[in-house]
């Protein structure tokens, strides 16, 4: 068979040469050890935690080493394309501190290795498919869907592996004239790799290949024997082919991708080999898992777990620094230890490595994120938090913009209890913070809790009247509390909880119940930070009005 002639028949319009592309996209001039990584999302408009998790690895590997991190849009599955998706990807990642150096943007490409959108690279894929055909390493296949189903049924009956390989690859040895006649008859065809691999039924032992994975170490897997499709009937490449061609020509050094690609790795190994190219270093990240209600580990699902979507963290108002900090704890097993030793160091000083990544499923836990967020927010100053909350509210809760009118007031609220020796950790994410501090604003004050059962209704009034009568905004904390104690004893409540516990028959309740009455009148809640401090922030007028109006 004259493969050159066959290649011309299949790709008459492809005149570009592989060496032209090699010259157009030369090896990158980067310092020794610099890594080139990429994110290759499909533009579906849905950007999820897994993307962020992978992007984080890409970003760290590239930027820690003085390399390049670029964005490639993998839109070969055009049914899933969503308008504006590129912007969504770039902006969502930027929010979490992840920036690309190169690649696709809404306003066109940045960088010398484009085009960075796969649907614009048709000629490149075809040129390399043509090269493989010329060398007898790929061939046109005219099998119809029905024929492929028949092959599958036969394989099932004979307990053979499914797929198009060896004797099932019926179009492998078509003659030039047969191919030409089929094309002229208008029969659709794909281009398949002519695999050299041997399946189990054709040899004593399937050959194993070894691949060094930067996260998983040496992987040993059976070699590929499938004549996989590299170009579909439309001429569009499959993931396998586009990955190999793009990562070669864009000079990617490290391919970070999900573990779901591990089973197809032997295909990629064979493609790199057939094209005569050096493989990049693969980094197959662990799947993101969560514990379900029954305590079983399962994959995060788009349908069941809203926290899989990155929008979730934006809507809830998680601070990007908290999400980054949390991601690093699940990404690198030594991060938490480093953080303990370097509590105030900027996060980028931590040296991220693929070796310290888990390969068995990274457990994602919202409660842990919340705990970390509490610590991270503690280190963010009140003015900075104010700005963050304001920007969040503008986008997600415009109806509360009035709380930002008095900057000083809100900053004091945010700082409440945060500068103590043992600081309070009340603040987690914007949605929760707004709810937590809502009682400071008259229009958002809600009476959420009931008065303590120990205090009858007539005592509530007596306590509040006495409190108002004795209230002096200038009292210091101990003077203020002495007055509450007095009110308590005068009305038959123990001045100390322990006295009440010892002799419950002698009292109606204790000073704690009395101060809860005041707390509820002031804040609508039985639990809150220190009442005296809250009153100092509320100011005299607001404090008096709340007690009087309860
Ligand atoms: N487009 C692929 C995906 O969205 C990218 C996989 C890769 O990074 O190679 O899963």
For ligand 1, atom 7, the nearest C-alpha belongs to 257
Is 243 near ligand 1, meaning CB less than 6 Å away?
yes
Say how many Å lie between the CA of residue 40 and the centre of ligand 1.
Answer: 5
In contact, 40 and 89? CB cutoff 8 Å:
no
Is 42 near ligand 1, meaning CB less than 6 Å away?
yes
Is 40 near ligand 1, meaning CB less than 6 Å away?
yes
Cβ-based neighbour number of residue 155 at 10 Å: 15
Sheet holding 229-231, edge to edge: 138-141, 190-193, 229-231
For each successive 10 residues of the chain (550 residues), what is the average pLDDT? 96 96 97 97 86 94 97 84 84 92 94 96 98 98 97 93 94 96 97 95 90 96 98 96 98 96 97 98 92 88 90 95 94 93 94 88 90 96 98 97 98 94 95 98 96 96 97 97 97 96 96 97 95 97 96
Is 48 near ligand 1, meaning CB less than 6 Å away?
no
pLDDT for the residue numbered 78: 65
Is 41 near ligand 1, meaning CB less than 6 Å away?
yes
Is 74 near ligand 1, meaning CB less than 6 Å away?
yes
Substitution candidate for ligand 1 out of 36, 38, 40 with most atoms within 8 A of CB: 40
**CA 543: distance to chain centroid?**
44
> What is the rounded CA–CA span in Å between residue 529 and residue 510?
20
Is 118 near ligand 1, meaning CB less than 6 Å away?
no
For ligand 1, atom 5, the nearest C-alpha belongs to 40
> What is the rounded CA–CA span in Å between residue 511 and residue 489?
8
Q: What are phi and psi of 131, to 5 degrees?
A: -60, -45
pLDDT for the residue numbered 293: 84
In the numeric block, which tokens belong to residue 455?
A: 């205090």
Say how many Å lie between the CA of residue 94 and the centre of ligand 1.
Answer: 19
Ordered alpha helix ranges (H), 11-71: 18-24, 49-64
362-363 and 288-291 strand pairing: parallel
Using alpha carbons only, what angle is made at residue 259 by residues 148 and 168, rounded to the nearest 5 degrees? 20
Atom of ligand 1 nearest to the CA of 257: 8
In the numeric block, which tokens belong to residue 141?
A: 């296949």
For ligand 1, atom 3, the nearest C-alpha belongs to 41
In contact, 106 and 122? CB cutoff 8 Å:
no
Is 268 near ligand 1, meaning CB less than 6 Å away?
no
CA distances (Å), origin 208, targets 83, 212, 398: 44, 13, 60
Is 102 near ligand 1, meaning CB less than 6 Å away?
no
Atom of ligand 1 nearest to the CA of 39: 8
In contact, 69 and 40? CB cutoff 8 Å:
no
Which of these, 279, 273, 276, lies nearest to 255 by C-alpha position? 279
Substitution candidate for ligand 1 out of 41, 121, 253, 254 with most atoms within 8 A of CB: 41
Q: Which residue has the tokens 């950790």?
A: 425
In contact, 325 and 106? CB cutoff 8 Å:
no
Is 280 near ligand 1, meaning CB less than 6 Å away?
no
Which of these, 159, 172, 166, lies nearest to 1 by C-alpha position? 172
Substitution candidate for ligand 1 out of 43, 238, 261, 284 with most atoms within 8 A of CB: 261
Is 75 near ligand 1, meaning CB less than 6 Å away?
no
pLDDT for the residue numbered 447: 94
What is the DSSP code (8-state) at residue 71? E
Substitution candidate for ligand 1 out of 117, 243, 264, 272 with most atoms within 8 A of CB: 243
pLDDT for the residue numbered 365: 92
């Amino acid at each position: 068979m004259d493969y050159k002639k066959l290649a011309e028949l299949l790709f008459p319009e492809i005149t570009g040469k592989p060496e032209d592309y090699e010259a157009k996209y030369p090896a990158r001039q980067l310092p020794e050890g610099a890594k080139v990584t990429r994110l290759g999302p499909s533009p579906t408009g849905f950007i999820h935690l897994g993307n962020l998790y992978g992007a984080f690895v890409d970003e760290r590997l590239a930027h820690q080493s003085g390399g390049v991190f670029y964005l490639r849009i993998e839109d070969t599955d055009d049914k899933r394309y969503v308008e504006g998706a590129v912007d969504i990807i770039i902006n969502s990642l930027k929010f979490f501190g992840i920036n690309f150096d190169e690649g696709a943007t809404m306003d066109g490409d940045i960088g010398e290795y484009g085009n960075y959108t796969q649907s614009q690279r048709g000629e490149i894929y075809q040129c390399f498919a043509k090269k493989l055909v010329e060398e007898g390493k790929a061939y046109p296949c005219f099998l119809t869907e029905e024929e492929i189903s028949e092959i599958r049924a036969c394989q099932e009956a004979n307990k053979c592996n499914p797929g198009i390989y060896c004797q099932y690859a019926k179009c492998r040895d078509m003659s030039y004239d047969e191919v030409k006649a089929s094309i002229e008859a208008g029969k659709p065809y794909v281009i398949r790799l002519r695999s050299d691999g041997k399946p189990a039924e054709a040899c004593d032992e399937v050959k194993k290949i070894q691949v060094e994975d930067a996260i998983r170490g040496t992987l040993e897997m059976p070699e590929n024997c499938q004549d996989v499709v590299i170009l579909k009937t439309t001429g569009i490449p499959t993931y396998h082919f586009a990955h190999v061609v793009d990562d070669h020509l864009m000079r990617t050094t490290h391919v970070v991708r999900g573990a779901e690609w591990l089973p197809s790795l032997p295909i990629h190994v064979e493609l790199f080999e057939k094209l005569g190219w050096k493989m990049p270093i693969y980094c197959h990240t662990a799947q993101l898992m969560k514990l379900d209600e029954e305590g079983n580990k399962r994959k995060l699902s788009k349908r069941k777990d809203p926290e899989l979507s990155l929008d979730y963290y934006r809507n809830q108002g998680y601070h990007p620094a908290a999400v980054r900090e949390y991601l690093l704890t699940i990404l690198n097993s030594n991060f938490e230890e480093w953080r303990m030793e370097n509590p105030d160091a900027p996060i980028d000083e931590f040296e991220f490595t693929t070796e310290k990544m888990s390969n068995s499923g990274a457990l994602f836990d919202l409660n842990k994120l919340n705990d970390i967020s509490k610590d991270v927010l503690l280190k963010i100053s009140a003015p900075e938090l104010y700005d963050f909350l304001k920007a969040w509210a503008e986008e997600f809760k415009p109806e509360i913009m009035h709380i930002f009118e008095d900057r000083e007031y809100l900053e004091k609220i945010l700082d409440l209890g945060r500068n103590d020796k043992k600081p309070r950790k009340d603040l987690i994410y914007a949605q929760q913070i707004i709810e937590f501090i809502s009682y400071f604003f008259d229009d958002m004050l809600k009476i959420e809790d009931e008065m303590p059962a120990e205090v009858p209704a007539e005592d509530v009034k007596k306590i509040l009247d006495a409190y108002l009568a004795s209230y002096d905004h200038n009292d210091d904390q101990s003077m203020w509390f002495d007055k509450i104690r007095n009110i308590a004893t005068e009305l038959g409540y123990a001045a100390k909880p322990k006295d009440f516990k010892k002799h419950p028959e002698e009292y109606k309740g204790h000073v704690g119940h009395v101060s809860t009455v005041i707390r509820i009148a002031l804040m609508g809640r039985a639990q809150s930070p220190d009442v005296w401090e809250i009153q100092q922030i509320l100011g005299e007028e607001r404090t008096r009005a709340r007690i009087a109006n309860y």
